[in-house]
Structure 1
Amino acid sequence: MSLGASWQRREVGGQTQLFLLGDWRIAHLDGLLKRFDWSRESQGCAVIALNELEAGDSATLALLMEWTQVQASRGMTLQIRGISQPLQELVALYRLQDMLHIDHD
């Protein structure tokens, strides 16, 4: 597992998606979030793809909740795709199913 974390905007099936890459656990988020500007990076994105996320924790879910609320305030529904089993278990533990729009593809 790499310790780095990054993101990429990609067109998939005519839809702009934001892919989170690497390790987005709390121990690595401070430096990452200093470089990440959600308002700029999320432009036109209705999907967060976690397929390439190597690790996540409750801090990752907190970010997803915040981004979901930001997009909702813009009149958009943010879909979350490719969520790992451990993150799904945290979503269930914290009862976030109604807040996070998770696509179980």
Structure 2
Amino acid sequence: MLPSELLRRGRFDELFFVDLPSEEERREIIDLYANKYLKMKLSDNTMEEVVKVTDGFTGADIESSIRDIAYRLIANEELQLTDELLLTSLKNVVPLSQTSPKK
């Protein structure tokens, strides 16, 4: 929640609620960032698993999680990008919607 001082008239004229992405929106976000950061096109089966695992994730959660996987791959040249690595990494993420549900 924003402090009441920031919600005074004239500070913000409009307040917007942005919901978590739907399955289809998560699919598009995952596809975008898997391609951007991992240069990877997920198979249909893997995509469906990743979409399920990312339930409750914001778009930013998905981006930062995939970017973190890319950083790990760069830092450890012996690490191989596999579907298992992707899924395991995402399963270990606690999304913002669970750590700060009121925000």
TM range (shorter): under 0.3
Normalising by structure 2, we get a TM-score of 0.25
Normalising by structure 1, we get a TM-score of 0.25
Query: Max radius of gyration: which structure?
Result: 2
More strand by share: 1
1 or 2 for the larger relative contact order (CA 8 Å, sep ≥6)?
2
